[in-house]
Structure 1
Amino acid sequence: MKWTPIVAALSVCLVNQVDAKEPKLILQITVDQLRADLLNRYQHHFTDEGFNYLIDEGVYYTEAHHQHAITETVVGHTTLATGAHPSSHGMVSNLWFDKQLQQPIYNVQDKTHPLISANAAVDAENEIDPTQKASKVEGRSPKNILATTFSDELTASNNGKSKVFAVSVKDRAAITLAGHTGKAFWFSKSAGEFVSSQYYFDQYPQWVNEFNQQNDIAKYADTSWTLSKESTEYLFGDNAAHDWKTKLPGYGITFPHQFGKRDNPYFSTFLTVSPVGDEMTANFAKSVIEHNQLGQNKVTDYLSVSFSSTDYVGHIFGPSSLEAEDNLLRLDRTLASLFSYVDDKVGLDNTLIVLSADHGAPEAPGYLTQFGTKATHFDLASLEKQQDIVKLKKGWKISGNLFSNAWQPYVNLDHDALKKSGIKLKDATSVVANVLNNVAGIHRAYSYHHLLEGAVPKDEITQKVINSFYPSRSGDIYIVFEPNVFVADFDGLNVASVHGSPWRYDTHVPIIFAGFKLDGQQIERPVATVDVATTLSAILGINAPSSAAGFPLKEVIKQFND
């Protein structure tokens, strides 16, 4: 057949029609600790190309919630990745206590797959994240995830032709979304660069080395985080030195926040407790797109980008602070830059974007109490001194401690002490849980055995607890504190705000699907974060993740089918 311009044009049209059935790239964005209402609160700051592009042009679910009780980073990310509850995917908390090994387990630790970079392991002496500090293992992998992820099913659907990558400051945020079959990168505060483990590579691709060389964090030395606008333009522009803000040595509790010298042991931590962490993450994501030619494939590629600064800033300063406000303003600009890059390299019309969050955020108690709202902190160490616990120990002839350790939201009993006193563990957990139910600040305590046997009340909060229960990774007694009662101790560092509860402020997150074929639509019906992975699977017509409990979001599917 003679190749005429008309035939060529028709052929291009036909190819485009075939390609248009599926996106060339799925870009999954997770904003750590983005409570749903914060998008509305700060929308006036946002550009048309960042958050507002998603809000105005996407299918925006305003009443999305996590359906589990332990609203922590690894739990939410894994739920978004698998469409499953923690009771199935197994990532029940950032840290759990292994009763056989008698030691805490960090969620993505794996001694068989060490890090590729030298000197990139967690610096326990200067790390402020207590879950990271607790890990005694350098290696990282997804081996503890007990279900397949959407990215795993994407890989399996086309014999591994899709390219799958995930990037974050946090290892647990990248590893969970990359799944078992993708490639994960995260930022090492110790090494000051993006790293990975030998689960993914024997050695780094050259482009990774080049990126780390060209993006030396030393350039931030002797600089500071300053406001993007005049202080009068901010809701929290008074920049007050509130005493509930966390006092990181040398960082300050008012603007400007100094990053200090490169040799300061907290230097890289300060970068992550600022918009710089997200900007570095987005720049690395752009490098992933460029050097791996994402979106240039005949099948759909996948990139997960999890932005962590909102979480770190929220913990240290609280979500209702000038720091949190400016950080979201800067993240909006970072998103706009990333979307522009994707549009140039792949085309936003060829890219399906989905945004959500791993959990919400409670207000700092000090912020609430200034308006008359009751809020307080709870000291887990005080449980041992509760009058009824003291009486119980006396009756059981236990002279030492009854509680061996506490890994929020669980407390564990001293099994040896109980055995010596002839008290059965099942009986002890039931009795102690009943005692704790009468302690001020505790909403309800659940014994391990009652959860295992289903001998618990039938209500919304209990169902969230059940959804979080995985027997071999759960403690003796699960404690749900009353709303606005918090355990704020981070391994000796008292922080402004701590998430992790089943209450609405911790479960309420946005879900937005945008780009590709979608038109703007705001949906107010209740949906769940387990629906994200099943919706992505339905869009591509592939198998849903193995333990998925969610359902495809009908408004998104309808637009794809129209």
Structure 2
Amino acid sequence: MIKNLMGFLLVFLIGLCNAQSQTENNNQKSTELDRPKLVVGIVVDQMRYDYLTRFYNKFGEGGFKRMMNEGFNCKNHHFNYVPTYTGPGHASVYTGTTPKYHGVISNNWYDKQEKTMVYCASDDSVTSVGTYDRAGKMSPHRMLTTTFSDENRLFTQMKGKTIGIALKDRGAVLPAGHTANAAYWFHGKDEGHFISSSFYMNDLPKWVNDFNASNTAESYFKVWDTFYDISTYTESGSDDTIFEKGFKGKKTATFPYDLKALKSSNNNFDILKTTPFGNSLTTDFAMAAIKGEALGQDAITDVLTLSFSSTDYVGHNFGVNSKEVEDTYIRLDKDLERLFQFLDIQVGKGVYTVFLTADHGAIDVPAYLQSVKIPAGYVDNNDRKDNFQRFLQDTFKTTDIVENVTNDQIFINYDKVKELGLNLSEVEQVIANEQLSYDHVAKVYTASSMNSTNFTTGIESLLQNGFNQKRSGNVIVVNDVSYIVYGKTGSTHGSGLNYDTHVPLLFFGKGIRHGQTYQRTVIADIAPTISALLGISFPNAATGQPLEFVID
């Protein structure tokens, strides 16, 4: 009897252990399956938040609306630093921090060590791949921190792929990070090819060469007319206004645009960038990359970073209130639908995750704002420069005490300050006081104040988050609200005001809840949120927080 009982207990315990072991194995498999097979990060260049609401009724069900209806919409999403430019924007989205730490303080900036202007993605140590032009001499080496795509590569022992794609080099290179398998961008002019850099490879893969040889880019040399009847475009201003630049070779900035006829006067393939067809071409190439690189085809998460650049070119050219911008977003919505349908088939519905945001917003054309009696205008940089030069000569008996003035920042010559026996902080303050006296200057701050004071609110906090001690200038100038250094046609960006900072943030797909919030979120929160979703380390200098209400 006892033997039988002991035998029964032994069999029971063995079965219990096996069941527990099987449960642990199932849990492990479940954990692996919970990670999306593919993360697609989408940055729409120069997309204001209100484009989602303004053009909502013109969107179909499969693009922006699909993300909103199936995913999570952060409606009060902002950049938490200045300047709001493309390079810093893309870097901040993927690093989860601001220029203060990742070091990409602008698209171009004055290098205080090299004593010259540098570009955020340029790298003379690498060679072009896919072209003999210098356009391929790019890498992320000026970005000082990791991206979440880097961390995914490290976590998966470099087995998870990362591919970056954009028309703009910086829109492809910076998001993909330092460990990317590849980044590709569009070289226009007379070539019309997607290219890369020896930082990633020695030769283009076959699928890229096949795409470049397919004449897909050439197919977009056609007439750009409105997708719907132009009379229904009631969400934008008149088609014929004085606030738009347009294309060389066409007298008015009005629909339709015969791109085949206009291309020779507008740098050939480059004209595609300033039309919605540049976004369509980007979508075509992204789908070719997903298939050519077999992204999302195994249990190890891959990352595709995708930037739609044409929206920025169109906004700069025609302004945020133009029919051209409205049509560009209507057509981008169609491209997103096409991309998502492709992902449903190629990767699998419900097993990939997408987020969509922007690298900055944009201002209404100040001349237009003036026409409707809203305070706005233009800064006369030449007049300000002349006054400043006279001030330097009168005060310091030399203009050499300033090395460079760029991006609303003044760089002081340290050697000249030492030679003249002056105190650097006092020189900064004297220059700041002078700048503050100029027309349409709202505020001026010194590097000394940025280094010694912890600002937690207002424009001061945004400036500090964008201030890098080794790279930023000694004096930072903030212009009046809606006053810009730009031509009188088209829109621009760069400030810490809502029209530049308030951008969309949409998540949908694997692991994402359905919902929305008006809680304030910031651009640096995106990378930690995706990292948390993947269960990987946050980017090494991330300052943002995971948005736990987004994750299912």
User: With structure 2 as the length reference, what TM-score do the two structures score?
Assistant: 0.89
**Residue 539 of structure 1 aligns with which residue?**
533
Q: 1:85 to 1:159 in 2, by over 3 A?
A: same
Question: What is residue 61 of structure 2 aligned with on the other side?
Answer: 48
> Which structure 2 residues correspond to residues 239-250 of structure 1 after superposition, within 5 A?
239-250=238-249
| Maintained 8 Å contact 2:239/2:255 | no
Q: After superposition, what is the alpha-carbon deviation per residue over 1:173-198, rounded to whole angstroms, capped at 9, x for unaligned?
A: 11111101112111112331111000
CA contact (8 A) 2:193 2:212 kept: yes
Distance 1:496 1:238 in 2: 13
Structure number, greater radius of gyration: 2
Q: Structure 1 pair 273/450, CA: closer, same or farther in 2 (3 Å)?
A: same
Q: Which moved more, 1:149-158 or 1:207-216?
A: 207-216
Change (3 A) 1:531 1:236: closer
* Distance (whole Å) between structure 1 residues aligned to residue 81 and residue 313 of structure 2: 22
| Structure 2: distance between partners of 1:215 and 1:403 | 50
Comparing 474-483 and 30-39, the one that deviates more:
474-483
The equivalent residue for 2:11 is none
Q: Which residue of 1 aligns with 2:118?
A: 105
| Partners of 1:424 and 1:407 in 2: CA distance | 23
Measure how far apart 1:403 and its partner are: 5.2
Aligned equivalents of 1:289, 1:475: Cα separation in 2: 42
Provide the rounded CA distance (Å) in 2 between the counterparts of 1:49 and 1:458: 40
Query: Letter of the aligned partner of 1:235 in structure 2?
Result: T
Q: CA deviation at 1:14?
A: 9.6
Give the letter for the 2:547 counterpart.
L
Distance 1:226 1:524 in 2: 36
2:158 is matched with: 160
- Checking the alignment, whether the CA contact within 8 Å between 1:70 and 1:409 is kept in structure 2 is no
Alpha-carbon deviations, 1:258-309, whole Å to 9, x = none? 3236554522221100101100101100011101111111211111111011
Amino acid at match of 2:57: H
- Measured in 2, the distance between the counterparts of 1:453 and 1:68 equals 18
1:181–1:401 CA distance, 2 compared to 1 (3 A): closer
Classify 1:350/1:255 alpha carbon distance in 2 versus 1 (closer, same or farther; 3 Å).
same
Partners of 2:146 and 2:176 lie apart in 1 by: 10
How many residue pairs end up in the alignment? 523
Query: For residues 458 and 537 of structure 1, do their structure 2 counterparts lie closer, same or farther at Cα, with a shift above 3 Å needed?
Result: closer
SS at match of 1:472: coil
Q: Is the 8 A contact 1:46 1:329 kept in 2?
A: yes
Question: What is the CA–CA distance in structure 2 between the aligned matches of 1:15 and 1:543, rounded to whole Å?
Answer: 19
Distance in 2 (CA, whole Å) between partners of 1:15 and 1:49 is: 34
* C-alpha contact (below 8 Å) 2:246/2:318 kept by paired residues: no
The CA distance in 2 between the partners of 1:413 and 1:189, in whole Å, is 38
In 1, Cα distance between the equivalents of 2:240 and 2:403?
A: 38
For residue 356 of structure 1, give the secondary structure of its aligned residue in structure 2: strand
Alpha-carbon shift at residue 216 of structure 1 (Å): 4.7
Structure 2: stretches of 5+ with no match in the other structure: 1-25
Match in the other structure for 1:320: 321
Match of 1:225 in 2: 224
Distance 1:17 1:546, change over 3 A: closer
> What residue is the counterpart of 1:197 in the other structure?
197
How far did 1:253 drift? 1.2
Please say which of residues 305-314 and 443-452 is displaced more in the overlay. 443-452
How far residue 424 of structure 1 moved from its aligned partner, in angstroms, is 4.6
Instruction: Give the C-alpha shift of residue 422 in structure 1.
Output: 5.3
Q: From the superposition, tell whether residues 257 and 384 of structure 1 become closer, same or farther in structure 2 (CA, over 3 Å).
A: same
Structure-1 separation of matches of 2:124 and 2:247 = 31
C-alpha distance in 2 between matches for 1:169 and 1:554: 33
**Letter aligned with residue 212 of structure 1:** N
Structure-2 residue corresponding to 1:370? 371
CA separation of 1:180/1:401 partners in 2, compared to 1, >3 Å: closer, same or farther? closer
The match for 2:12 is: none
| TM-score, normalised with respect to structure 1 | 0.88
- Counterparts of 1:407-426 in structure 2, within 5 Å, are 407-413=406-412, 423-426=422-425
The superposition leaves residues 49-90 of structure 1 with CA deviations (integer Å, 9 ceiling, x where unpaired) of: 001001111111000111011000011111110101110011
CA drift at 1:242: 1.8
CA distance in 2, matches of 1:391, 1:179: 44
AA aligned to 1:249 is K
State how far apart, in whole Å, the 1-side matches of 2:323 and 2:214 are: 32
2:518 paired with 1:529: no
Within 1, Cα distance between the matches of 2:311 and 2:379? 24
Match of 1:506 among 492, 500, 504: 500
> Match of 1:488, SS?
coil
**Letter of the structure 1 residue corresponding to residue 183 of structure 2:** A
Distance 1:337 1:16 in 2: 32
Task: Report the equivalent of 1:76.
Answer: 89
What's the secondary structure of 2:134's corresponding residue?
Answer: coil
What amino acid does structure 1 have at the position aligned with 2:269? S
Question: Who is 2:233 aligned against?
Answer: 234
Aligned counterpart for 1:115 among listed residues 128, 133, 139 = 128
Q: Determine if contact 2:245/2:317 at 8 Å carries over to the other structure.
A: yes
The match for 1:24 is 37
Q: What is the letter of the counterpart of residue 453 of structure 1?
A: S
Give the residue type in structure 2 aligned to 1:488.
Answer: Y
For residue 395 of structure 1, report the CA deviation from its aligned partner.
Answer: 3.5
Aligned-pair CA distance for 1:217? 2.8
Q: Could you list the runs of 5+ residues in structure 1 that have no partner in the other structure?
A: 1-12, 123-137
CA offsets, 1:140-168, max 9 Å, x none?
A: 00111111100000000011111111100
Q: Which amino acid aligns with 2:296?
A: G
Partner of 2:443: 444
**Contact 2:54 2:235 (8 Å CA) reproduced:** no
1:395 corresponds to which residue? 395
Hey, what does 1:482 align to over in structure 2? 480
Change (3 A) 1:232 1:265: closer
- The answer as to whether partners of 1:360 and 1:509 remain within 8 angstroms in 2 is yes
